[in-house]
Amino acid sequence: MAPRLYPLALRLKVDQSEADALLIDTFLHIWTDADRYHPTRSTALDWMIALLYQLAELPPPAESDEPWPELPPPDDLWPAIQARLPDDEDDSRSLHGPLIIACVVGVLIGVLLSLSLLLDLRPGH
């Protein structure tokens, strides 16, 4: 979904670094607030777009019966996005710590959720 949301983030925030930060914040909220998404209320893309607008502190576009504008296919966007990623190894090294922490936290959350589900499924419970 990042290649589909990134062009919108660039429209909402003219500065590229602000658009990058907005997209990252949006995906962090998607990850942490996924339990608040209700498929009966909106499509996943609509929910993500609304969250992007909310984090940009802009009012969402007025509701319409018209579908969202056609977004470019992800494969067409990846070369442009990858070209904007830092080439400097020092920049990528600075991400190792936060990525490791995020992975460990994700695994711990997954384990806790699995254990809680298993405990709820015990016979006689």
pLDDT in tens, 4-25: 888 888 888 888 888 888 988 8
Contacts within 8 Å (CB) and 24+ apart, 71-74: 71/4, 71/7, 72/3, 72/4, 72/7, 74/3, 74/4
Give the amino acid at 99.
L
pLDDT digits (tens, 9 = 90+) for 60-74: 776 665 555 555 555
Give the amino acid at 30.
I
Whether the per-residue pLDDT at 121 is higher than 80: the answer is no
pLDDT digits (tens, 9 = 90+) for 28-66: 888 888 888 777 777 888 888 888 999 999 887 766 655
pTM of the model as a whole: 0.50
